Chains A and B, each alone.
Chain A
Amino acid sequence: MIIKDAITIAKHELKLEIRNKNALGGLILYSISTVFITYLSTEGYIPSNLFSALLWIILLFISINAAGKSFLQTNSGRHLFYFSNVSPQAYILGKHFFTSGLVLVLMFLVSGLSYFLFEPKIENMLFFSITIFLGSLGFAFTIGFLSAVAQTASGNFTMVSILSFPVLLPFFLTQIKLLNISLARFNIDLALKYIGILCLLNLLVLGLSYILFPYLWRD
């Protein structure tokens, strides 16, 4: 029941996002220009560990922009509509589905583009993609939930970044480690260990937002 409702909400959000082409186009343009600015300012020749750090910083800012809006954009009328129709758990799950999809698309766009521009030597492509995948899920869940917190608090966009940067650091550091491993000196044991940690973090954030969201919702 909850899952079904959540999927309906995610579809609904997707429809709204597609209808509002300006916002989506703006996000894509923002991503592309961020990558391009980084490329121009580093002249394209960077060592692989710097590449992974830069890539994650770019991805962090893009996902803050993409996922941070998820609740801030929702106006009070639409909020009331959801409130009277679905349970809070279904609502947060639906939002999570939608934002993680959006962030995933942007993340792969950005990583593909930076792969094309910077031409890093990647030792293990599979683990590179898994890292991007798990990382974007984690970013989307955390930022999505904290944007709900920020929205109830003040409806202010800076709040999202203040709240989410420190909480995102565990994700950030493990992702950079994992990406570094998949770029050079690949080691399957170590990689699996980091992937385990990332999965654990993702599940934890998902669980916490599922439990805590109903308390934010009562407005």
Chain B
Amino acid sequence: MLALKWWKILAIILVLYSIIGGFLIDVPKLSILYETIRNTYFHVTLWFAMMLLMSISMVYSIKHLSTPTQQNDLIASETANIGLFFGVLGLVTGMIWAQFTWGAFWVNDVKTNGTAITLLIYFAYTVLRGSVEDDEKRGRIAAVYNIFAFVMLILFLGILPRVNDSLHPGNGGNPAFGNYDMDNTMRMVFYPAIIGYFLLGLWFVDLRIRLKKIKQKLTAE
């Protein structure tokens, strides 16, 4: 009856586990953070999942340039879309967290600016895709922009925190989820949560690709 593949079941279990465990399991008491450290299980994992999806999108863009197929293009565009969705969720959870720890929804910080740029780049990517009619051409141009923008983005996210100080946990001596502050019980929720959200993202991608294919078939008939 339930014809779910194993990884979809795994995604459901891991996400449920991370939500229940994230709220109930004891967390270390750190100054400034206190109970808000639980946001690690949501905000940080969503971001990890987003970066993984964006990387997949980039890889498929490269693939699309070397062997242009409709499948490569669909995967590249849909992983970017779902990554964007996760990015928005990550931003919202981060903003709620910032309101209670920093006292404002938006702080002029390196990390928040990095988020804003990531989202802008991928919104520009969707606008670019929307502006081209021809399928073959759209895939090629979008792939070129995707590769260009992703490399710039990685460089930006890598460089900027090193030249600026940040309020964000993990920078400038703030307590964080890094090696020293995150204990083993936290890791037990944190890593499964990343895998869970990533698999959930892949599931979304899978559904959207199938939907697109069905739509194409219907319009072709």
Contact = CB atoms under 8 A, between A and B. Distances in A.
Q: Do A and B come from one complex?
A: yes
Interface of A: 145-146, 149, 152-154, 156, 159, 162-163, 165-167, 169-170, 173-174, 177, 193-194, 197, 200-201, 204-205, 208-209, 212, 215-216, 218-219
Contacts of A154: 131-132
A37 to B, nearest CB: 27
Contacts, number: 81
Contact of A201 (B132, B147, B155): B155
Please report whether the interface of chain B is mostly helix, strand, loop or mixed according to DSSP. Answer: helix
A61 B145 CA distance: 21
A146 B149 CA distance: 10
Given A149-B128, A154-B132, A162-B127, A167 B149 contact: yes
Q: Interface size for chain B: under 10, 10 to 19, 20 to 34, or 35 or more residues?
A: 20 to 34
Given A166-B121, A167-B152, A170-B152, A149 B163 contact: no
Contacts of B121: 166-167
Q: Which 10 residue pairs of A and B lie closest in terms of their CB atoms, listed nearest first?
A: A166-B120, A170-B156, A166-B121, A154-B131, A212-B144, A169-B117, A153-B141, A153-B132, A167-B152, A162-B124
25 contacts: A149-B141, A149-B144, A149-B148, A153-B137, A159-B127, A163-B124, A163-B128, A165-B124, A166-B124, A167-B121, A169-B113, A170-B117, A170-B152, A170-B159, A177-B163, A193-B163, A197-B163, A204-B151, A204-B152, A204-B155, A209-B148, A215-B143, A215-B144, A218-B140, A219-B137
A177 B110 CA distance: 13
Residue with the greatest number of chain B CB neighbours at <10 A, chosen from A193, A208, A218:
A208
Contact of A170 (B127, B141, B160): B160
Contacts of B120: 165-166, 169
Nearest to A211: B147
Please report whether the interface of chain A is mostly helix, strand, loop or mixed according to DSSP. Answer: helix
A135 to B, nearest CB: 15
B156 to A, nearest CB: 4
Nearest to B147: A212
Contact of A216 (B141, B151, B163): B141
B148 A169 contact: no
A208 B148 CA distance: 7
B65 interface: yes
Contacts of B160: 170, 173
Contacts of B131: 153-154, 156, 159
Residue with the greatest number of chain A CB neighbours at <10 A, chosen from B113, B132, B163:
B163
